Amino acid sequence: METMSPLERILRGIALTLVVIFFMFPIVWIFLMSFQTNETILRIPPSVIFTPTLDNYAALITGKLTTAAGTLDIAFMRNLGNSVFLSVASVALALVLGVPAAYAFARHKFRGSEDIAFTLLSFRFAPPLLVLLPLTQYFQWLGLSNTYFGLIWVYQLICLPLILWIVRGYFEDISADVEYAYRIAGHSWFSTFRKIALPLAGPGIAAAGLLAFIFAWNNFVFALVLASADKQPVTVGALAFVTASGIQYGQIAAAIVLSITPTLALALYAQRYLVEGLSLGAVKG
């Protein structure tokens, strides 16, 4: 490892450069596109020389979209707000429910524990449409259709199994000895959990939460089917620029950029937990 021939160094550098180009180029290109008008985007052949404009972002933020057929109202910022709210609330609920359960599975071998754990994980793998289609009926009867509450509940199908699985592995990998010692000293179960177990599992919980957040944020079909226009996330909202009187490519690009920004910010903030959290977490044998 420590010795690396110059040739290998160069080859590694080239490989890494290619990887970075492949994964970053689309994002950079869309970023550039978001500062262009439809006219410059539609040039043949494509070119990187253009006068940047902030019109696309201005249109998204003010909610006024100018098209061939006049001005349209768009609710993109509201979509963005919905995405933030739905993802944060769903992950928060999944953490509240999932972390204690993960702790239980990791620390207590009880009757049916593996079955329950497996059942919970298998929910992650039910085809979403299978559940979604009859669910519209049930939500109608329960009065949950078109409520944030109902949506957050359904989002648990995405978030909860993921958190449970990763955090469980993390708990299992940290020794129970410290907790045991603390309990012997006369502290209650709850304070042991809160003061010892939770802080130790911090990175794992953070990593699991971040992954769950990403998957919740990227969801498309749940809200589309279950909620009305004022509760739609950005993934649906970005389609609004495909209008009968033309496609607003610049605004689509700007919408994509804006929709990545919050998750990116979160990931940059939580990056030090991500690799560490996952490495000690459920993925380990």
Partner 1 sequence: MASVTQPGARTGGFRISKRVLPYVLSLPALLVCIGILIPFFTAVIYSFQRYRLSQPWARQFNWGENYLNFFTDPGFWNTLRISLVYAGVTVGLELLLGLGIALLLQRRTTVNNFISIMLLLPLMTAPALAALMWKLMTNPGFGILSYFASLVGLENFRWASSPDTALLTVVLVDIWVYTPFIMILLLAGLRSLPTQPFEAAALDGVPRTFVFFRITLPMLTPYILTATLFRLLDSIQQFDIIYAMTQGGPGDTLTVFQVEAYLNFFQSTNVGRSAALLIILWAITYILSNVFIKNWLRLRERARGEA
Partner 2 sequence: MYDKEKDLISAFLRGEVDRRGLLKGLGAAGLTAGTAGTLFNMMSTQALAADFDWKAHSGKSLKLLLNKHPYADAMIANLQTFKDLTGIEVTYDVFPEDVYFDKVTAALSSSSSEYDAFMTGAYMTWTYGPAGWITDLNEWIKDPSKTNPQYGWDDFLPGVKASCAWNGQPGGALGSEDAKQWCIPWGYEQNNLSYNKEMFDKVGVSVPKNLDELLVTAAKLTKDVGGGVYGIGVRGSRSWATIHPGFLSGYANFGQKDLNVSADGKLSAAMNTPESKAFHAKWVQMIQESGPKDWSTYTWYQVGTDLGAGASAMIYDADILGYFMNGGDNKMAGKLAYAPFAANPAATAPTPNIWIWSLSMSNFSKDKDATWYFLQWATGLEHAIFGATKMDFVNPVRASVWKDEIFRERLNKSYPGYVEMHDISAPGAKIHFTAQPLFFDLTTEWAATLQKMVAKEVPVDEGLDKLAESINRQLAEAGLG
Stretch that binds partner 2, among 1-9, 154-162, 194-202, 226-234 (CB under 8 A): 226-234
Which among 249, 233, 257, 218 is positioned nearest to 75, based on CA atoms? Answer: 233
Contacts of 194 (CB under 8 A, 6+ apart): none
Q: How do the residues of the chain divide into helix, strand and coil, expressed in percent and rounded to 5?
A: 75, 5, 20
Residue closer to partner 1, measured from CB, 59 or 157: 157
Instruction: Determine, following the binding rule CB under 8 A, whether residue 77 of this chain makes contact with partner 2.
Output: no
What is the nearest approach in angstroms of partner 2 to the Cβ of residue 133? 8
Instruction: Determine, following the binding rule CB under 8 A, whether residue 239 of this chain makes contact with partner 2.
Output: yes
Distances (CA, A) of 209 to 40, 82, 195: 40, 18, 20
Residue type present at position 250:
G
Residue closer to partner 1, measured from CB, 66 or 180: 180
Instruction: Determine, following the binding rule CB under 8 A, whether residue 229 of this chain makes contact with partner 2.
Output: yes
What is the nearest approach in angstroms of partner 2 to the Cβ of residue 29? 18
Instruction: Determine, following the binding rule CB under 8 A, whether residue 62 of this chain makes contact with partner 2.
Output: no
| Alpha-carbon span 144 to 104, nearest angstrom | 31
Residue from the set 240, 252, 256, 280 that interacts with partner 2 by CB under 8 A: 240
Got the DSSP string for 137-160?
A: HHHHHHT-TT-HHHHHHHHHHHHH
Distances (CA, A) of 262 to 9, 139, 210, 231: 35, 30, 12, 18
Instruction: Determine, following the binding rule CB under 8 A, whether residue 283 of this chain makes contact with partner 2.
Output: no
Residue 206 contact, options partner 1, partner 2, none, Cβ 5-8 Å cut-off depending on partner type: none
What is the nearest approach in angstroms of partner 1 to the Cβ of residue 14? 11
Interface with partner 2 by CB under 8 A: which residues?
A: 38-39, 42, 44, 66-70, 72-73, 136-137, 139-140, 145-146, 224-226, 228-230, 236, 239-240, 242-247
